C-alpha cells in the first residue's frame, strides 16, 4: 500500500527520482495494479498517543467513565477499522488481514497506542496499522469527551514495516534492512487492563500535563 514506487538500478544510474504510483501520467488518481507482485508475508506497526488529564486517567483505570470500559472499546475499534481500511482510504487495496493486534499502555496523562497488522499478500499493510491507531484514538476520545473535550490524539506514525519488494523499514533507523521484522508489542501482563508497547511507542519530550476542565 506504499505510494512511492521503488526505483530500479537502471533508474538510479540514469538519475531518475522515485515517483508516486497512485497517479497516472496525466495526474489522475488510480488504484495501482499489483497483480504481478509476489505474495509475501508483510507486517507493519504504527503508533500514536492519546493525551488527556490525570483525572481522566484515574477514571479510566478504575472503569469509572460514563460510557464504560474505554480500553476494551478502543481495542475493538482499532481491530475493526483495520479490516475496513480500503473502504476509508480510496486508493488502498482490499487486503486479507491475517492478524491485527492493538495494544494500549496507560500512563500518567496519556494512553500510548500501538497497532500491528500482518498478511500474506501482494501489497503492504502500513495503512491498515495507521488506520487502526487512529480509530482506537477516536474511540478513546468518544469515551472520555464527557469529562475532557480537550483530549487529543497526537504523534500518529508508522513505526516499522517488513516484507515486500522494498524490504524492511524502521522509524529512526539508518536505512532499510531486508528480512527484518517490525518490533512486536510486548505480551500483555496477566491481570492488567492494557499491555505495554515498549520502545514501539515514543513519548513527546517536555509535554506538560494538562489540567482537567471538569465534567461537562
Note the pTM of the prediction, 2 decimals.
0.71
> Per-residue pLDDT tens for 137-160?
999 999 999 999 999 999 999 999
130 annotated as a binding-site residue: no
What is the C-alpha separation between 201 and 145, in angstroms, rounded? 24
Mean pLDDT value of segment 80-90:
95
Please tell me whether 128 is known to bind a ligand: yes
Q: Is 186 exposed, middle or buried (0-12, 13-18, 19+ CB in 10 A)?
A: middle
Residue 92 pLDDT: 87
Q: Which CATH code, of 3.30.230.10, 3.30.470.30, 3.30.70.640, 3.30.499.10, is assigned to 39-200?
A: 3.30.70.640
Residues with a catalytic annotation lie at 142
Residue spans of the domains in the chain: they are: 39-200
Percent of the chain with pLDDT over 90: 56
Predicted local distance difference test score (pLDDT) of residue 194: 38
Does 1 belong to an annotated binding site? no
| Three-class secondary structure assignment of the chain | CCCEECCCHHHHHCCCCCEECCECCCCCECCCCCCCCCCEEEEEEEEEEEECCHHHHHHHHCCCCCCCCHHHHHHHHHHHHHCCHHHHCCCCCCCCCCEEEEEEEECCCEEEEEEEEEEEECCCCHHHHHHHHHHHHHHHHHHHCCCCCCCEEEEEEEEEEECCCCCCEECCCCCCCCCCCCCCCCCCCCCCCCCCCHHHCCCCCCCCCCCCCCCC
Does 170 count as an annotated binding residue? no
Give the pLDDT confidence of 5-33 residue by residue, as tens digits.
Answer: 443 333 334 444 566 666 666 666 667 76
Q: Is 103 annotated as a binding residue?
A: no
| Percentage of the chain lying above the pLDDT 70 cut | 65
What is the end-to-end Cα distance of the chain in Å, rounded?
41
- Lowest-confidence range among 43-57, 141-155, 166-180, 191-205? 191-205
Mean pLDDT (whole number) for 175-200: 40
Q: What is the pLDDT of residue 72?
A: 97
Q: In this predicted structure, which of 69-78, 126-135, 155-164, 207-216 has the lowest mean pLDDT?
A: 207-216
Model pLDDT, residue 31: 72
Cα within 13 Å of Cα(124), Cβ side: 27
Q: Beta strands 110-121 and 99-106: pairing type?
A: antiparallel
Distance between CA 120 and CA 77 in Å, rounded?
23
Amino acid at each position: 500500500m506504499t505510494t512511492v514506487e521503488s526505483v530500479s538500478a537502471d533508474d538510479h544510474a540514469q538519475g531518475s527520482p522515485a515517483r508516486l504510483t497512485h497517479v497516472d501520467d496525466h495526474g489522475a488518481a488510480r488504484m495501482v495494479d499489483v497483480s504481478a507482485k509476489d505474495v509475501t508475508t508483510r507486517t507493519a506497526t504504527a503508533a500514536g498517543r492519546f493525551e488527556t488529564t490525570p483525572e481522566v486517567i484515574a477514571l479510566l483505570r478504575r472503569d469509572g467513565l460514563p460510557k464504560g470500559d474505554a480500553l476494551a472499546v478502543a481495542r475493538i475499534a482499532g481491530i475493526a477499522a483495520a479490516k475496513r481500511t480500503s473502504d476509508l482510504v480510496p486508493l488502498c487495496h482490499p487486503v486479507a488481514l491475517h492478524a491485527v493486534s492493538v495494544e494500549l499502555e496507560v500512563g500518567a496523562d496519556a494512553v500510548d497506542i500501538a497497532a500491528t497488522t500482518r498478511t500474506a499478500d501482494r501489497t503492504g499493510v502500513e495503512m491498515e496499522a495507521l488506520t487502526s491507531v487512529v480509530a482506537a484514538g477516536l474511540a478513546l476520545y468518544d469515551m472520555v469527551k464527557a469529562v475532557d473535550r480537550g483530549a487529543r490524539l497526537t504523534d500518529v506514525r508508522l513505526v516499522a514495516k517488513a516484507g515486500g519488494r522494498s524490504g524492511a523499514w524502521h522509524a529512526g533507523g539508518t536505512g532499510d534492512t531486508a528480512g527484518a521484522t517490525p518490533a512486536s508489542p510486548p505480551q500483555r501482563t496477566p491481570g492488567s487492563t492494557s499491555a505495554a508497547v515498549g520502545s514501539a511507542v515514543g513519548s513527546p519530550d517536555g509535554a506538560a500535563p494538562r489540567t482537567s476542565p471538569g465534567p461537562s
